[in-house]
Structure 1
Amino acid sequence: MAKTVLFLANGFEEIEALTVVDLLRRQGIEITTASITDSVEVTGSHNITVKADTVLDKIDTGSFDMLILPGGQPGTTNLGNCKKLTDAIIKHNDAGKDLAAICAAPTVYGKLGLLQGKRACCYPECEEGLLGADVQTTEVTVDGNFITSRGMGTAIPFGLAIIERFCGKAAADDMAKKIVFNK
């Protein structure tokens, strides 16, 4: 089964992060939450504090099939300013492994130059951060090893796209039905 990790930075968007974690765990996809700080306690952009499974310094990012970034501010800025994380993202991309991001977070990939010639979407008003990308306005955009999405309102389709990547369309459709979500 796939092994994924979702990174949490202070100021992350709670719904975008926790919806993905919930959906993947329901599906049986291994997902680890990792704080980019030295504390497992991370406070979201709406003052909701969660406890991550671990911290970035204690994991081998190369052992994961997919790295996932939730949006939110200043969470996205904090993710993009974390050199250990951005180095891991570059290595992950160079290895052809999957990268996913929602809301403002796809701009982390864009600013690293990883979206050149790729179709990608993000939160409206953040498009300038998708450097070199063919900007889309779909709920979720899949291109090669990238899955991007637009915001809190697209968190379920984003999570379902990740399920589809690892388990197939039928599994994603079944999960949508189980959670009473009309795709």
Structure 2
Amino acid sequence: MKKAIVLLAEGFEDIEALTPVDILRRGKLSCTICSVDDKNEKTSSRGTTVKTDEILKNINIDEYDAVILPGGLPGATNLRDNDNVIKLVSAFNKNGKLVAAICAAPIVLDKAGIIKNKNVTSNPNFKDELKEVNYKEDFVVQDGNIITSRGAATSIYFAFKILENLSDEETVERVKRSTLMNLVDQYHEK
């Protein structure tokens, strides 16, 4: 079974953090919600408190196939300014594992030095903080093992792109049907 880890810092964006957790768990994948410090509760930018499954210092990155970074402020800057997060993101990338960031969180990938000359997207307010990238305005952009997305409204597309990378087509279609995402896809095809 593939395993993903969602990193939470104080001030994360609710939808961007929990949508991938929901979609991956519906796909029967392991998805660990992880605090980036020793406190196993994190409060979102909207005031929602989430109890995490684990804390970063207890994580063996060899057990995971993907790391997911939600945006939100100051959550994304708290992730960016955490040296252990930068080391983890760099290690995942070095090992060719999936690295996914949404909204403001691509600033973490920029600081880790893993998106130079890559196709990426972000919340438009953070575009200028991403140096030497090929910036796109698509909902979700994948370049190799790096997935980026725009923001809260694109969270479901972001989550499904992660699921597509960690699962098989049958599972993706099953989860799309169970969430009615298949109807959204049909609507956009019209």
TM over 0.5: yes
Q: Partners of 2:7 and 2:16 in 1: how far apart?
A: 11
Letter in 1 for 2:92: H
User: Alignment RMSD, CA only?
Assistant: 1.2
**SS of structure 2 residue aligned to 1:125:** helix
Identity among equivalent positions (%) equals 38
User: Which residue does the alignment assign to 1:67?
Assistant: 67
User: Which residue does the alignment assign to 1:141?
Assistant: 141
Shift of 1:88: 1.2
Q: Partners of 2:165 and 2:127 in 1: how far apart?
A: 24
Q: Partners of 1:132 and 1:108 in 2: how far apart?
A: 14
Unmatched segments (≥5 aa) in structure 1? none
User: Which residue does the alignment assign to 2:171?
Assistant: 171
Q: Partners of 1:141 and 1:42 in 2: how far apart?
A: 28
Q: How does 1:1-183 map to 2 (within 5 A)?
A: 1-181=1-181, 182-183=184-185
Unmatched segments (≥5 aa) in structure 2? 186-190
**SS of structure 2 residue aligned to 1:76:** helix
Letter in 2 for 1:154: T
Aligned length: 183
Q: Partners of 2:173 and 2:135 in 1: how far apart?
A: 26
Shift of 1:133: 1.3
**SS of structure 1 residue aligned to 2:6:** strand
Shift of 1:107: 1.5
Letter in 1 for 2:107: T
Letter in 2 for 1:107: I
Runs of 4+ in 1 over 6 A off after TM superposition: none
- TM norm structure 1: 0.96
Shift of 1:21: 0.4
Q: Return the structure number with greater helix share.
A: 2
